[in-house]
Amino acid sequence: MDRRVAKVILKRDIKRRVLNGHPWVYDNEIERIEGNFEDGDIVYVHSFANQFIGIGYINTKSKITVRLLSRKSVEINREFIMNRILDAIKNRYSIAKENAYRVIFGEADGLPGLIVDKFDKYLSVQFNTLGINKLKNTILDVLIEIFSPTGIHERTEGSAVKKEGLEEFSGWIYGSGPELIPFEINGIKFLADTKGQKTGAFLDQRENARKLRDFAQNKVCLDCFSYTGNFGMHLLSGGAKHVTFVDYSDRAIEIARQIAKLNGFDESRTEFVVGNAFDYLKNAYVKTKKYDVVVLDPPSFAKSASSRDAAFKGYKEINYRSMRILKDDGLLATASCTQVVSQSEFESILVDAAIDAKVFARLIYRGGQPIDHPQVYNILETMYLKFLILQISSLDK
């Protein structure tokens, strides 16, 4: 063990969360720090009884002061990064052969703060913490060796990044590429927007959208919070009669139009609406417009426990209103993408919405995260995506 590396000593009576595999060490769990260090440096973590727990990087600007990289006393070097990424690819199994997938999902793949998505010949990356940012050059070197990409685009932005003491950045950091990166999932052409949200496209709903496609034939559908149209495009590819896309972003809706054209979907089968999904659902109810399928894939309504109550109200409202505008035996495909709201809590919200809407809600399908967004039971924060397909029927049957 390198004596020049600072040592973080944990308090005597901390919860066993860290000992049981969770990689985060909070500031209030630390007794003292021995040795000199700079924020972002690698440090050793020990229990109060001086038991070695792991090695990670430190940032005293963050409440999550240390994020562990390994439970072994190893050198965090190029070989370590290479092995971590190769292990992640191996753990994707057959999905690693697909045109687009998530290569690295932060803590779940042993590289906290790092997100890497593959879109055909391009990679889109996020370095969301100071410690992982200090390893950027090594990570890029390894990614280039493994994938030989045409370009790597970085999108490191958001309030969490600022809290880490990092400057926000968006741009090509290796090679170059188009503003809209073409890729395919489930045989459908898509475009990842380098000026859009996160890494440019959401890959975590791939399996859920494919499942929903099985119910699309001749259906009239509404895709709310559509972004660039993942669910709606799957419905169209499954033979939907018509899909209305609703999103607040002009840019996202315009890209959805382009994606529909790329796939050769007839314009008469689509409608693109820039607007607030909450308002659209209210107005749809007023007009008693009925749909065969309604999709709700909203952004995270709760990023922390303090916003749970507001999230519960938001989820209940959109699901209640969707239940009211569905035809009898119509399908509601509904999702929650925050770990702050549990699976059981989300389903309880849907039960309450069904009671208020005076409908019978039958579970058709329960989905979640695909294998390239691994869920680790030791790290509850990795378990965020809930997805249900419900058949909504009249109570009067």
Task: List pLDDT tens digits, range 81-93.
Answer: 999 999 999 999 9
Residue 189 inside a domain? The answer is no
Q: Residue 228 maps to which CATH number?
A: 3.40.50.150
Residue 2 inside a domain? The answer is no
Model confidence at 3, pLDDT cuts 50, 70, 90, reads low
Give yes or no: residues 124 and 242 share one domain: no
254 pLDDT more than 90: yes
pLDDT score, position 306 = 76
Model confidence at 2, pLDDT cuts 50, 70, 90, reads low
Of residues 178 and 2, more confidence is placed in 178
Residue 220 inside a domain? The answer is yes
Residue 198 inside a domain? The answer is no
pLDDT, one tens digit per residue, over 363-392 is: 999 999 999 999 999 999 999 999 999 999
Residue 231 inside a domain? The answer is yes
Give yes or no: residues 175 and 52 share one domain: no
Give yes or no: residues 114 and 175 share one domain: yes
Distance CA 113, CA 126 (A): 8
Q: Residue 168 maps to which CATH number?
A: 3.30.750.80
Model confidence at 247, pLDDT cuts 50, 70, 90, reads very high
Give yes or no: residues 298 and 215 share one domain: yes
> For residue 393, what are the CA distances in angstroms to 72, 282, 396?
55, 20, 9
pLDDT, one tens digit per residue, over 311-341 is: 999 999 999 999 999 999 999 999 999 999 9
pLDDT, one tens digit per residue, over 36-77 is: 999 999 999 999 999 999 999 999 999 999 999 999 999 999
Q: Residue 40 maps to which CATH number?
A: 2.30.130.10
pLDDT, one tens digit per residue, over 337-369 is: 999 999 999 999 999 999 999 999 999 999 999
Would you say how long the chain is, in residues?
Answer: 397
301 pLDDT more than 90: no
Give yes or no: residues 85 and 132 share one domain: yes
Give yes or no: residues 256 and 378 share one domain: yes
Q: How many Cα atoms sit within 13 Å of 91 on the Cβ side? A: 20
pLDDT score, position 303 = 73
Residue 187 inside a domain? The answer is no
pLDDT, one tens digit per residue, over 173-226 is: 999 999 999 999 999 999 999 999 999 999 999 999 999 999 999 999 999 999
> For residue 55, what are the CA distances in angstroms to 38, 52, 134, 323, 366?
15, 9, 15, 50, 38
Model confidence at 112, pLDDT cuts 50, 70, 90, reads very high
Give yes or no: residues 303 and 376 share one domain: yes
Q: Would strands 385-394 and 169-175 be described as parallel, antiparallel, or unpaired?
A: unpaired
Of 179, 212, 239, the domain-final residue:
179
| Mean per-residue pLDDT over the chain, rounded | 95
pLDDT score, position 279 = 93
Pair of tokens at residue 121: 């010949």
Question: What range defines the domain where residue 149 resides?
Answer: 78-179
302 pLDDT more than 80: no
pLDDT, one tens digit per residue, over 128-168 is: 999 999 999 999 999 999 999 999 999 998 888 988 999 99
What is the tally of structural domains in the chain?
Answer: 3
Q: Would strands 326-337 and 291-296 be described as parallel, antiparallel, or unpaired?
A: parallel
Give yes or no: residues 66 and 82 share one domain: no
1 pLDDT more than 60: no
pLDDT score, position 71 = 97
Average the pLDDT over 282-286 and give the result. 81
Residue listed under structure tokens 């952004």: 299
Residue 190 inside a domain? The answer is no
Give yes or no: residues 150 and 118 share one domain: yes
Give yes or no: residues 218 and 292 share one domain: yes
Model confidence at 13, pLDDT cuts 50, 70, 90, reads confident
Give yes or no: residues 369 and 220 share one domain: yes
Of 21, 42, 70, the domain-final residue:
70
> For residue 375, what are the CA distances in angstroms to 75, 105, 106, 146?
26, 10, 11, 24
Residue 363 inside a domain? The answer is yes
Give yes or no: residues 384 and 237 share one domain: yes
